[in-house]
Amino acid sequence: MMIMMQPGASQQHISRIVARAESLRLPVQLSRKDGRTTIAVVLQGNDYLFEEFAGMDGVAEARPISNPYKLTSREFQPNDSVVSFNGTSVGGGKLVVIAGPCSVESREQIIETAQAVKEAGADALRGGAYKPRTSPYSFQGLGEEGLEYMAEARELTGLPIVTEVMAPETMPIVSKYADVLQIGARNMQNYALLHAAGESHKPVLLKRGMSSTIKEWLMAAEYILSHGNRRVMLCERGIRTFETSTRNTTDINAVPVLKAQTHLPVIVDPSHSTGHWEYVAAIARAGVAAGADGLIVEVHTHPEVALSDGPQSLKPEKFATMVRQVRALGKALAVG
What does residue 315 show for φ and ψ, rounded to 5 degrees? -75, 155
Contacting residue, 154, 207, 231, 247, with ligand PEP by CB under 6 A? 207
Q: Which does 184 bind (CB under 5 to 8 A by kind): ligand PEP, Mn ion, none?
A: ligand PEP
Rounded least distance, CB 10 to ligand PEP, Å: 49
Q: Which does 154 bind (CB under 5 to 8 A by kind): Mn ion, ligand PEP, none?
A: none
Q: Which is nearer to ligand PEP, 43 or 252 (CB)?
A: 252
Q: Which is nearer to ligand PEP, 39 or 171 (CB)?
A: 171
Cβ pair 238, 286 in contact under 8 A = no
| Residue 173 to residue 145: CA distance in whole angstroms | 11
Q: Does 300 bind ligand PEP (CB under 6 A)?
A: no
Contacting residue, 58, 91, 146, 184, with ligand PEP by CB under 6 A? 184
Cβ pair 65, 75 in contact under 8 A = yes
Cβ pair 263, 78 in contact under 8 A = yes
Q: Which is nearer to ligand PEP, 13 or 207 (CB)?
A: 207
Contacting residue, 14, 95, 99, 102, with ligand PEP by CB under 6 A? 102
Rounded least distance, CB 239 to Mn ion, Å: 16
Q: Does 185 bind ligand PEP (CB under 6 A)?
A: yes
Residue nearest ligand PEP by beta-carbon distance: 184
Q: What is the DSSP letter of 320?
A: H
Residue nearest Mn ion by beta-carbon distance: 102
Bridge partner list, 59: 5
Q: Does 118 bind ligand PEP (CB under 6 A)?
A: no
Cβ pair 128, 104 in contact under 8 A = yes
Q: Which is nearer to Mn ion, 164 or 179 (CB)?
A: 164
Core vs surface per residue 76-115: b (16+ CB within 10 A) or e: bbeebbebebeebebbeeebbbbbbbbbbbebebbbbbbb
Rounded least distance, CB 246 to Mn ion, Å: 15
Q: Which does 185 bind (CB under 5 to 8 A by kind): Mn ion, ligand PEP, none?
A: ligand PEP
Quick one: how far is CA 284 from the chain centroid? 16
Q: Of 126, 140, 161, 170, nearest to 299 (Cα)?
A: 126
Contacting residue, 13, 118, 230, 237, with ligand PEP by CB under 6 A? 237
| Residue 328 to residue 288: CA distance in whole angstroms | 10
Rounded least distance, CB 166 to ligand PEP, Å: 10
Q: Which does 310 bind (CB under 5 to 8 A by kind): Mn ion, ligand PEP, none?
A: none
Rounded least distance, CB 259 to ligand PEP, Å: 20
Rounded least distance, CB 276 to ligand PEP, Å: 15
| Residue 240 to residue 75: CA distance in whole angstroms | 30
Q: Which is nearer to Mn ion, 131 or 263 (CB)?
A: 131
Cβ pair 172, 136 in contact under 8 A = no
Q: How far apart are the first and last CA of the chain?
A: 35
| Residue 74 to residue 77: CA distance in whole angstroms | 5
Contacting residue, 27, 58, 91, 128, with ligand PEP by CB under 6 A? 128
Which is it for strands 28-33 and 2-5: parallel, antiparallel or unpaired? unpaired
Bridge partner list, 207: 235
List interacting residues with Mn ion (CB under 5 A): 102, 309
Q: Which is nearer to Mn ion, 293 or 309 (CB)?
A: 309
Cβ pair 180, 124 in contact under 8 A = yes
Residue ranges in contact with ligand PEP by CB under 6 A: 102, 128, 132, 184-186, 207, 237, 272
